[in-house]
Structure 1
Amino acid sequence: MSTQLLISTSCWTDNIDAVPECDNDQRNALSRKALAKKAEEELRETENVRTECLRQLKVWIQQNQDVENCITDDNFLLRFLRVKKFSIPMAQQTLLKYLNFRKRFDHIFRNLTLNDDKVNELLTNGYIFVSPVRDSQGRRVILYDLSKFDPKRYTGTDMARAHAITYETLLTEEENQILGVVHVADIGAINASFVTLFTVTEFGTLIKWGEQSFPMRHKEIHLINMPQALRYVYDFARSNITQKLKERISVHDGKSTASQSIELEALPAEFGGHVPAKDMITWWTRQVDAKAKRILATDDIRLLSDAGIIRSKTARRDAENMIGSFRKLEVD
């Protein structure tokens, strides 16, 4: 596990090439001990629990005839254990759902690289990117600017692929698996043409399955400048997510009001911060490109059957209770 975690913005310089060095500056880093404490407090993660749960999950994968060529290194498997606070049965279900999600939307997840011209454009023009400056709690902040998305040029698939490559890249860092992410989106440019990007069924499935299947901890979601005319789209999206996630969404009338609850230091100058968006974008595209091989490796995983996925809430609850969800797992 990486021992470094940027929690301060004081080391930012105007030279974008200095950002990677800034990330490794121990003067602004959360120690490994502090990060481990956070993982234990929020995720029930200890060295013994981590070791035993990884062992059990790997054995289950090896014996599962429905899954083929699954990545079994610790970094990949820990994202499923951490998002479910080391409940073995819940982590297993999330892994199966993640693979089923990728299978159902193969056109979105396969061959995710910056070699895809549309994805490259959406990341480099600033539709979606990640700040190189973590917030005060050490979390990565994902920025969205809907004014940079032209529905006449890009499709819903292009949009979803830009999101997918961003999220997959973030999950390669264990700090993000532990601490989660913050979303900040300026959606003022959304108009009626955006509604045609997805069918109602596809949009609803992406939202619902995305929350249930993608092993990411969404800590805060800030929506800025929501057009009242499209409030029904927001209401529909909310109807497809859990109450827990609903409570983490904040809607702001404008950037001035948003600044009261969003840490400006982690935002680009265009959002009220200090660092130009173009510098953040340059930094982020480098991170995405550096993780390309890792992300492409997920294309080799196959879900041969979805029979193991528990769809009934009652059956899922009974299964979790029966196994005890391993939340009090202790290893001698």
Structure 2
Amino acid sequence: MAASCLIDETSSQPTISDDDLIKLAKEELNEIPEKRAEDVNTLRKRIQKHPGLNIRTDDAYLLKFLRASAFDQDAAYTLLLKYFELKADEKNKQLFTDLRSAAVKHVVESGVVGLLPHRDKQGRRVLVLRPGKLDPSQFGPPDIFKASFMLIIKLAEDEETQIRGCVVLYDMKDMGFGQMTHISPFYAKRSVMLFQDSVPVRFKYIHVVNEPAVFDYLLALAKPFMSQQTVDKMLVHGHRLEE
């Protein structure tokens, strides 16, 4: 992926027109085309009543939160607040400073974070993380978080992905204690938040392959921050890549 196109949160109008996508959106997301404008407006009015919540309220922006929440107004509103709070939290300031493609180009080029060029059999985009490729002398968890966040937000702009969702592939090949020692509970928690109720993307599954001996330690570090729903989405395959 070219680093120059990692992120673009500019306003655009929703333009879904594919019959299969419309059907899928209705079946999985409870999205009714005739009610879409009304649903977006309901969420917009609720946001406008929230003091201090200074965010975009255009149709395209709000629609992705509704789709990520299966058009549940309360869930969409809560997701939007969590997304806003994640970015506004002073403790996370370092993670949301200098969100430019050029600032994380080295992470993408290293292969630690990226997107597969093709969709899976269900038409979902695949976000790939390869922590074993991390050279701690070159960069660390903050840069990985930034690159992951920017890719996820880019995914959230795509209407087909909003509807079909996406999957995460953790390829743990070559990961050892050299990388593990740089992952603190702080970064473990923030990383979990990226895939759990804090960004407007529907993560269908989290596949883990080639897990090393340190995987149990890594899971023990992250699991206290994981909901049962996230745990249920995690599928550990070992070296059986044909699965």
TM-score range with shorter-chain normalisation? 0.7 to 0.9
User: Is the 1:109–1:164 Cα contact (8 Å) retained in structure 2?
Assistant: no
Structure 2: gaps (5+ residues): 1-15
Matched, 1:110 2:97: yes
CA RMSD of aligned residues (A): 2.1
Q: Give the TM-score taking structure 2 as reference length.
A: 0.85
Question: For the residues of structure 1 that align with 2:191 and 2:207, how far apart are their CA atoms?
Answer: 19
Tell me by how many angstroms 1:205 deviates. Answer: 4.6
Partner of 1:241: 226
Question: For the residues of structure 2 that align with 1:141 and 1:77, how far apart are their CA atoms?
Answer: 23
Partner of 2:6: none
Matched, 1:231 2:185: no
Structure 2 residue identity aligned to 1:258:
L
Question: For the residues of structure 1 that align with 2:180 and 2:63, how far apart are their CA atoms?
Answer: 36
Moved more, 222-231 or 173-182: 222-231
Task: Give the counterpart of 2:35 among 42, 49, 58.
Answer: 49
User: Is the 2:67–2:162 Cα contact (8 Å) retained in structure 1?
Assistant: yes
Structure 2 residue identity aligned to 1:136:
K
Partner of 1:299: none
Tell me by how many angstroms 1:202 deviates. Answer: 4.2
Q: Decide which structure has the larger Cα Rg and report it.
A: 1
Q: Mapping of 1:266-281 within 5 angstroms?
A: none
Matched, 1:191 2:173: no
Structure 1: gaps (5+ residues): 1-29, 262-332
Structure 2 residue identity aligned to 1:180:
G
Say if 1:131 and 1:188 are closer, same or farther in 2 by CA, change over 3 A.
Answer: closer
Instruction: Tell me the secondary structure at the aligned position of residue 74 of structure 2.
Output: helix
Task: Give the counterpart of 2:78 among 93, 100, 104.
Answer: 93
Tell me by how many angstroms 1:208 deviates. Answer: 4.3
Structure 2 residue identity aligned to 1:225:
N
Percent identity over paired residues: 29
Tell me by how many angstroms 1:127 deviates. Answer: 1.7
Which of structure 1's runs of 4+ aligned residues deviate more than 3 A? none
User: Is the 2:185–2:222 Cα contact (8 Å) retained in structure 1?
Assistant: no
Say if 1:49 and 1:245 are closer, same or farther in 2 by CA, change over 3 A.
Answer: farther
User: Is the 1:75–1:174 Cα contact (8 Å) retained in structure 2?
Assistant: no
Structure 1 residue identity aligned to 2:227:
T
Structure 1 residue identity aligned to 2:40:
L
The total of aligned residue pairs comes to 227
CA displacement, residues 179-225 of structure 1 (integer Å, 9 cap, x when unaligned): 11111221122222323324324423542475121121111211111
Partner of 2:115: 130
Tell me by how many angstroms 1:110 deviates. Answer: 3.4
Partner of 1:148: 133
Q: Mapping of 1:176-187 within 5 angstroms?
A: 176-187=161-172
Say which structure, 1 or 2, has more relative contact order (CA 8 Å, 6+ apart).
Answer: 1
Instruction: Tell me the secondary structure at the aligned position of residue 258 of structure 1.
Output: coil
User: Is the 1:221–1:248 Cα contact (8 Å) retained in structure 2?
Assistant: yes
Question: For the residues of structure 1 that align with 2:42 and 2:99, how far apart are their CA atoms?
Answer: 30
Question: For the residues of structure 1 that align with 2:26 and 2:53, how far apart are their CA atoms?
Answer: 30
Structure 2 residue identity aligned to 1:65:
P
CA displacement, residues 1-31 of structure 1 (integer Å, 9 cap, x when unaligned): xxxxxxxxxxxxxxxxxxxxxxxxxxxxx97
Instruction: Tell me the secondary structure at the aligned position of residue 232 of structure 1.
Output: helix
Tell me by how many angstroms 1:173 deviates. Answer: 0.5
Moved more, 194-203 or 132-141: 194-203
Structure 2 residue identity aligned to 1:32:
D
User: Is the 2:68–2:162 Cα contact (8 Å) retained in structure 1?
Assistant: yes
Tell me by how many angstroms 1:96 deviates. Answer: 0.8
Task: Give the counterpart of 1:77 among 62, 69, 75.
Answer: 62
